[in-house]
Amino acid sequence: MIGEQAARFDHVVETFNRVRKLYGFGRIEVPVFEATSVFARSLGETTDVVSKEMYSFEDRGGDSLTLRPEFTAGIARAYIENGWQQLAPLKVTTWGPLFRYERPQKGRFRQFHQLDAEVIGAAEPAADVEVIALAAQVLAELGVDDRVVLQLNTLGDAETRGAWREALVAHFSGHLDVLSAESRERLEKNPLRILDSKAESDRALVADAPRIDAFMTSEAGAFFEAVQKGLQASGVGFVRAASLVRGFDYYRHTAFEFVTDALGAQGTVIGGGRYDGLIGAMGGPETPAVGWAGGIERLAMLIPDLAPDFARIVVVPDSPSMLEEATAIAYNLRRGKLSTTIDIAYKGNAKRRVELAKKSGYDAILFVREGSRAKDRLHLTHIGGTEAASMLLLKVLEWLPGPYRELSGDDA
């Protein structure tokens, strides 16, 4: 990753870090690899991620380790082992590389990167609203909120989910002759996942499947209503997606995805939900939690063309003998918060240097030349390109050493 791709990646991460601070989310780090059992317990032995996609290996001691395929399990393990219960409710974020062995697709690679946000130890609907609003603001400040839609659903409480699961099993069991092979397998292991099926033969069955609302307890209904009202109060728009599910029993209540049609089949850019049963299932205390993850590469592909919000200048010594002087000048400009690069190639005439600087996205060139008077040794050529560039001359003058305060300049 280099150039424009790297700049987009940086922009996503920088925006995420800025917005998460506005919401009071701290930063944590978890290991890039964990004991394989951490993911087997949290994701399930029979899932595709565990059975087909994880990079697992034995270390020198014979223990099985796995490169992390997602963040939540490692965060839950750290929460249990480090006694973070005393810090609850805990609002944390992280980002970094993840690893899955799968067919590379648009915006998805075997080493990919995600943003992650979690609220651990808060059972209230307000925590769900908080993490969703955080995601929505990240998308808005990236300038892609008009290209995504928030899909929202509820999985209810344990009683709701259990009754709904039984109804789904009964419904799909009556149509085994038309159910796809994959869905027949899911019927035994994870019937809710049939609602995710993309198979043509399953679509009519999924459309006619029982909806969770028919089995909702009053408590679960009140929780979902509170989440919806909280999102409305936060100005976060959403659509109800009754088929949006999470397959594991430790998921409760809210499930959500921010989806787009701008990336082809890979439509989800941020997805998450409430997983109140996970930490207990991993051997810790029963702990409510809600969170989300979003693909950095996918978000980077969505954002519009980047325009730098600061002026960039390149200092060009005319010869190797002027490099020391150019270095001193560049140091002063950087102290003034001007993004400054020193050109040490000494190639091409002034016109060629200007052309190269334009291609590289600079706003101005400051030539450092030989001369008897300080002000004659500097020549500023404006290239333009950002609003900040219009004030560049004053900024340069402000941070140049005293002898150079009066310099010559023109517009290229």
Q: Are residues 251 and 381 in the same domain?
A: no
Q: Which amino acid is at 183?
A: S
Whether 183 is covered by a domain: the verdict is no
Mean pLDDT in consecutive groups of 10 residues from the start of the chain, 412 residues: 86 97 96 90 61 83 92 94 92 96 70 96 97 98 94 93 90 87 83 84 87 94 97 96 81 94 80 94 94 95 77 82 86 84 70 73 81 71 57 66 58 43
Structural domain contains residue 184: no
* Count of structural domains, the chain: 2
Q: Are residues 122 and 264 in the same domain?
A: yes
DSSP state at residue 210: P
Q: Is 200 annotated in some ligand binding site?
A: no
Residue 108 falls within a domain, yes or no?
A: yes
Q: In this structure, is residue 55 part of a structural domain? A: yes
For residue 275, give its domain range: 4-157+217-302
351 and 267 assigned to the same domain: no
Please give the single-letter amino acid code of residue 85: Q
Residues 230 and 287 in one domain: yes
Residue 352, annotated ligand binder? Answer: no
125 in a domain, yes or no? yes
Interstrand relation of 252-259 and 268-274 (parallel, antiparallel or unpaired): antiparallel
Looking at the structure, do residues 95 and 230 belong to the same domain, yes or no? yes
Copy the structure tokens of residue 213: 């609302």
CA–CA distance, 402 with 375 (Å, rounded to integer): 10
CA 255 from chain center: how many Å?
A: 18
In order of 1, 106, 112, 266, the CA distances from 262 in angstroms are: 21, 11, 19, 9
Residues 110 and 22 in one domain: yes
Length, in residues, of the chain: 412
CA distance 175 to 189: 17
Q: Is 114 annotated as a binding residue?
A: yes
> Which of 302, 329, 354 is at the close of a domain?
302
Does 269 lie in the same domain as 406? no
Q: Is 334 annotated as a binding residue?
A: no
pLDDT of residue 410: 53
CA–CA distance, 273 with 251 (Å, rounded to integer):
7
- Structural domain includes residue 324: yes
257 and 392, same domain (yes or no): no
In a domain? residue 54: yes
Residue appearing with tokens 């249990």? 80
Same domain assignment for residues 321 and 269: no
Q: Is 72 annotated as a binding residue?
A: yes
Same domain as 265, residue 319? no
Q: How far apart are CA 326 and CA 349, in angstroms?
A: 17
Is 137 a known ligand-binding residue?
no
- In this structure, the answer to whether residues 293 and 364 fall within a common structural domain is no
| Domain edge (last residue) among 251, 272, 302 | 302
The answer to whether 275 is a known ligand-binding residue is no
Which of residues 302, 337, 369 is at a domain's end? 302
DSSP readout, 60-112?
TTS-EEEE-S-SHHHHHHHHHHTTGGGG-SEEEEEEEEEE--S--BTTB-SEE
Annotated ligand binding at 369? The verdict is no
What's the Rg (C-alpha) of the chain? 27
Burial label, 144 (beta-carbon count in 10 A; 0-12, 13-18, 19+)? buried
Residue 371 domain flag: yes
Closest CA to 39 of 117, 128, 99, 121: 99
**Residues 242, 246, 251, CA angle at the centre, nearest 5°?**
110
**CATH code of the domain covering residue 372:** 3.40.50.800
What CATH code is carried by the domain that includes residue 22?
Answer: 3.30.930.10
Is 85 annotated as ligand-binding? no
**Own/partner pairs, 271-275, CB within 8 angstroms, 24+ separation:** 272/117, 272/131, 272/132, 272/135, 273/155, 273/246, 274/128, 274/155, 275/72, 275/246, 275/248, 275/250, 275/251
Is residue 276 located within the same domain as residue 340? no
